[in-house]
A and B are shown apart, each in its own frame.
Chain A
Amino acid sequence: MTKQNLILKLFFPIVVVASILGISCKKYIYQGPITSTYGAEFWTSQQSVEQATAAMYGQLRADFVTADNSSPGLFFLAGDYVSGSFFNASRQDYRPLTASRNPFGTGPFNFNYAPYNHGMHDWSRFYQLIAQCNLILQNVPDMPTSLFGSENKKNAYLGEALFMKSFTYFYIIRIWGDPVFVEKTYNGADYGNIAPIARSPEADVLDSCISYLTKATSYLEYTAGDPSKSIRANKGSALALLAHIYAWKHDYANAHKTCLELINNGGYSLEPMSSYKNIWAGEFSSESIFEISMLFNPTDPNFKGQGAWAEARFDFFATFLKGPIINNLRSQSWVSPYDFIQNLYDTTNDARFKTILSFVPPSGSDEIGYMLEKYTNFKYAEPGTETSPYINNNLVVFRLSDIILLDAEALASTGDLAGAAADLAQTENRAGISSYSNPTNQFEMLNEIIDERGRELIGEGQWYFDLIRTEPAIGRLVLYGYPRDRVTPANKGYYWPLDMPLLFPQDNLLTQNPWWASHTL
């Protein structure tokens, strides 16, 4: 064979092989990892946006149900426990957290067990939620409307994200005060270059939230009396949040207007007393405006481990329960102090007292008092072996009674006592009382409204925030033992402190809350 022949003979197969390899190599070289996704890949269908939206609600639930290792959820700690309406004798580190009106009279909470309550001083998890909202708000507007079918559907997702963002900022403000206002999303390219942001005054952030919510109410629809829609943000929930924000800013004229719009057009109605506990049954009551979904889902992969992302849970609601009602799985619980309940309720006539509070004698380490029975739908996931217990209720965040009483507060604060009395009468009549104290002036009326909010919304993560909001008007915190100079608007000693050793390294423009900056934890 000549050299030429050889080359030809070899050349052709080599070329063939090389071209095959060359073409196919391209595919292998540029093949991305099979299961991961990234921005441009993700925001390409309505399904993705649906998933991102579901993640928002899951994150909010996870944020509410945890605070610390083996501690009750932040939702009830921040909203109820520190008002003195409950007491937990078995957790020594919570004793300083209650207001002075408790059996041990330990005085207003002073956080001196700060190391044990990291979760309550750390707002990071709420910023995860804000980041998720910002992601949706940044990416969805650029997606073509054809993916969603209509402009309305696309805007609905934007409305939900705007609502959740405003809700989260409002929640941060009610617990810690001035937030860090984060507008943009960060990605891997920003790593190491994220500029520190100082805290913004809460009034400014609330103004931004008001503008977000005004937009959200135009994007969202009412649920038209369908309780199964209450687990997603809707026009009713946006208006409810807007009313609360106006009230927090003491802009009671706008609060009243917003409440009225919601009461008249939302399609909600008060649950009758005979089926009162349906309010917390989950996606069931026509009174419910916004709920966090916590009903049992058999396909939930997180249920067995009962981690932060589990939908149905035991410990979160079982915080309030002990004894045969949960098959004796707990022998101690949060107990509402005996004198507190006796002073708050007309125990002879108030039907709520008879329905949702049950007397418990002192036992274990718990004192005499009342057990809250709002969240009592106890079940086993495996009834045969009595394992995997859970409590099949939803967490109600906004409901019609709340808005009616907020409207009463708004009317009373602007001088319309007759209107306030008419609103008060709605919940009081349902409970079987004509009027608790027959108020004749603004101070008495506001007192009765706040007490009525306590009677109606006990154990729903609301009352402590009500006490803060009305502090300038009726001074309940001072009545319960807080030093007068602590709860001034300048000092804001009703807010929790921030965990500066943890958070300051991440944002060196962060400052501690005024009261805690000058008083040791």
Chain B
Amino acid sequence: MKRISILNFILLLTIILFMVACNKNKNYIIGGVPEDVNMYKNITSYDVLKNDPKYDTLIQIIDAAGFKDKLNKPGVTFFAPSNISIFRYLNARTIQVQKTNIYAKFAMDSLLYYLSNNINGTADSLGMYLMDQLLPYSVLTNTGAYYPTELAGVKSIVSFEYTKDPSLGYNPLVSSVPQIVYYTYMWKPYTYNLSDANPAGNITPALGVHTRVITSGIMTKTGIIDELENGHVLFFYGIKR
């Protein structure tokens, strides 16, 4: 009698233990809290950027160029250069103007002037970041494809590339290989033919600028925003060789 009840007790304990242990912990692998992908679903692209402090200079540029309506057009994908990219641009232009006048500076006031008067097509250049179609992950491929931009005559490559670089999140212990969106601005003439043997990942600096998107797939009310990395220089100024 005693033995049976002890046995029952042990059995019960084991069952409880297994039940508790088998509970799937939802946050097992995720480091942090998952973001709500729909958090921007009711905000236009322009307002999403406006509310983000790292794009406040970009907003000034968009306003000066009168670009807001193009940005908010339904069904567009925008690759957003951050404040740091604009800072790099101003530095590069300052170095250029200081070749003739060592005290000259090219700062935001000059840039805004150039934009509002579309001098040398500066305001039109913003179009290189805009593509008049939605580019979600389902459309993008590892090889990449040319997409026409809003800047006349310019088409850029957008790709969704697998990476085996450990510093970009690849871990040989995990079976799935991470993928990262890249925006590649090609130097003219466009001679590079994309194919599975020649994917966007093989593009060298001589052919084009292979720019990483650090946050991709921000779904807004009007379209998609992809954030370009901080190494990017606005309008790819001064980095052609």
Q: Tell which of A325, A330, A359 touches B165, judged by Cβ atoms closer than 8 Å.
A: A330
Q: Check B209–A361 contact: CB distance below 8 A.
A: yes
Binds B, one of A218-226, A272-280, A364-372, A512-520: A364-372
For B204, list chain A residues within 8 Å (CB): 323-325, 358
B87 to chain A, nearest CB (A): 12
Given the interface pairs A359-B205, A363-B211, the reply to whether A329 lies near B233 with Cβ below 8 Å is no
B235 to chain A, nearest CB (A): 13
Count the A residues whose beta carbon is within 8 Å of the partner chain — how many? 22
For A281, list chain B residues within 8 Å (CB): none
Q: Tell which of B167, B206, B233 touches A332, judged by Cβ atoms closer than 8 Å.
A: B167
Residue A360 lies at the interface, judged by CB distance under 8 Å to chain B: yes
Given the interface pairs A324-B203, A361-B205, A361-B239, the reply to whether A366 lies near B231 with Cβ below 8 Å is yes
For A364, list chain B residues within 8 Å (CB): 212, 229, 231
Given the interface pairs A324-B202, A359-B205, the reply to whether A331 lies near B168 with Cβ below 8 Å is yes
Whose C-beta in chain A lies nearest to the C-beta of B239?
Answer: A361
Residue A414 lies at the interface, judged by CB distance under 8 Å to chain B: no
Whose C-beta in chain A lies nearest to the C-beta of B203?
Answer: A324
The secondary structure that dominates the B interface is loop
Residue A208 lies at the interface, judged by CB distance under 8 Å to chain B: no
Q: Tell which of A327, A329, A362, A386 touches B231, judged by Cβ atoms closer than 8 Å.
A: A362
Task: Indicate with 1 or 0, residue by residue over B67-98, a CB within 8 angstroms of chain A CB atoms.
Answer: 00000000000000000000010000000000
A273 to B38, CA, bound (A): 59
Residue B136 lies at the interface, judged by CB distance under 8 Å to chain A: no
For B210, list chain A residues within 8 Å (CB): 323, 363
For A329, list chain B residues within 8 Å (CB): 164-165
A322 to chain B, nearest CB (A): 9
In chain A, positions 416-457 with a C-beta closer than 8 Å to chain B are none
Whose C-beta in chain B lies nearest to the C-beta of A386?
Answer: B164
Residue A90 lies at the interface, judged by CB distance under 8 Å to chain B: yes
In chain A, positions 121-150 with a C-beta closer than 8 Å to chain B are none
Q: Check A328–B164 contact: CB distance below 8 A.
A: yes
Whose C-beta in chain B lies nearest to the C-beta of A365?
Answer: B231
A328 to B203, CA, bound (A): 10
Q: Check A331–B165 contact: CB distance below 8 A.
A: yes
Q: Tell which of B206, B231, B241 touches A363, judged by Cβ atoms closer than 8 Å.
A: B231
Given the interface pairs A323-B204, A324-B202, the reply to whether A361 lies near B231 with Cβ below 8 Å is yes
Q: Check A328–B163 contact: CB distance below 8 A.
A: yes
A329 to B203, CA, bound (A): 14
Count the B residues whose beta carbon is within 8 Å of the partner chain — how many? 24
Q: Check B211–A330 contact: CB distance below 8 A.
A: no
For B232, list chain A residues within 8 Å (CB): 362-363
Whose C-beta in chain B lies nearest to the C-beta of A347?
Answer: B241
Residue B201 lies at the interface, judged by CB distance under 8 Å to chain A: yes
A331 to B163, CA, bound (A): 10
For A365, list chain B residues within 8 Å (CB): 231
For B239, list chain A residues within 8 Å (CB): 361-362, 368
Whose C-beta in chain B lies nearest to the C-beta of A359?
Answer: B241
Whose C-beta in chain A lies nearest to the C-beta of B161?
Answer: A328
In chain A, positions 337-365 with a C-beta closer than 8 Å to chain B are 358-365
A511 to B203, CA, bound (A): 53
A368 to B241, CA, bound (A): 12
For A362, list chain B residues within 8 Å (CB): 88, 231-233, 239
For B236, list chain A residues within 8 Å (CB): 361
In chain B, positions 111-168 with a C-beta closer than 8 Å to chain A are 161, 163-165, 167-168
A332 to B230, CA, bound (A): 14
Task: Indicate with 1 or 0, residue by residue over B194-231, a CB within 8 angstroms of chain A CB atoms.
Answer: 00000001111110011110000000000000000101
Whose C-beta in chain B lies nearest to the C-beta of A326?
Answer: B165
B237 to chain A, nearest CB (A): 11
Q: Check A324–B201 contact: CB distance below 8 A.
A: yes
Q: Check B212–A363 contact: CB distance below 8 A.
A: yes
For A323, list chain B residues within 8 Å (CB): 204-205, 210
A90 to B231, CA, bound (A): 12
A305 to chain B, nearest CB (A): 14
A325, A327, A363, A365: most-surrounded residue (chain B CB, <10 A): A363
Q: Check B88–A331 contact: CB distance below 8 A.
A: no
B150 to chain A, nearest CB (A): 23
B207 to chain A, nearest CB (A): 10
A485 to B203, CA, bound (A): 49
A368 to B206, CA, bound (A): 14
A363 to B167, CA, bound (A): 14
A397 to chain B, nearest CB (A): 30
Q: Check B212–A331 contact: CB distance below 8 A.
A: yes
Task: Indicate with 1 or 0, residue by residue over A197-214, a CB within 8 angstroms of chain B CB atoms.
Answer: 000000000000000000
A383 to chain B, nearest CB (A): 14
For B229, list chain A residues within 8 Å (CB): 363-364
Given the interface pairs A359-B205, A364-B212, A368-B239, the reply to whether A328 lies near B231 with Cβ below 8 Å is no
In chain A, positions 435-482 with a C-beta closer than 8 Å to chain B are none
In chain B, positions 174-209 with a C-beta closer than 8 Å to chain A are 201-206, 209
Whose C-beta in chain B lies nearest to the C-beta of A360?
Answer: B205
A324 to B182, CA, bound (A): 14
A358 to B207, CA, bound (A): 13
Whose C-beta in chain B lies nearest to the C-beta of A331?
Answer: B165
A330 to B164, CA, bound (A): 8
A496 to B147, CA, bound (A): 53
A331 to B178, CA, bound (A): 14
B38 to chain A, nearest CB (A): 30
A331, A359, A366: most-surrounded residue (chain B CB, <10 A): A331
Q: Check B231–A330 contact: CB distance below 8 A.
A: no
B90 to chain A, nearest CB (A): 14
A381 to B231, CA, bound (A): 33
A364 to B241, CA, bound (A): 19
Given the interface pairs A323-B210, A364-B229, A365-B231, the reply to whether A358 lies near B167 with Cβ below 8 Å is no
For A368, list chain B residues within 8 Å (CB): 239
A364 to B233, CA, bound (A): 12
Given the interface pairs A323-B210, A362-B231, A363-B211, the reply to whether A328 lies near B205 with Cβ below 8 Å is no
A361 to B88, CA, bound (A): 12
A363 to B202, CA, bound (A): 15
Whose C-beta in chain A lies nearest to the C-beta of B240?
Answer: A361
In chain A, positions 145-194 with a C-beta closer than 8 Å to chain B are none
For A359, list chain B residues within 8 Å (CB): 205-206, 241
A367 to B229, CA, bound (A): 12
B169 to chain A, nearest CB (A): 11
For A386, list chain B residues within 8 Å (CB): 164
Instruction: Identify the 3 closest CB pairs spanning chains A and B, nearest first.
Output: A362-B231, A361-B239, A359-B241
New contact pairs (6) apart from A90-B167, A328-B164, A361-B209, CB-CB < 8 Å? A324-B201, A324-B204, A331-B212, A361-B231, A362-B232, A365-B231
Question: 14 A-B residue contacts at CB 8 Å?
Answer: A90-B167, A323-B210, A324-B204, A327-B164, A330-B167, A331-B165, A331-B167, A331-B212, A361-B233, A362-B232, A363-B232, A364-B212, A366-B231, A367-B231
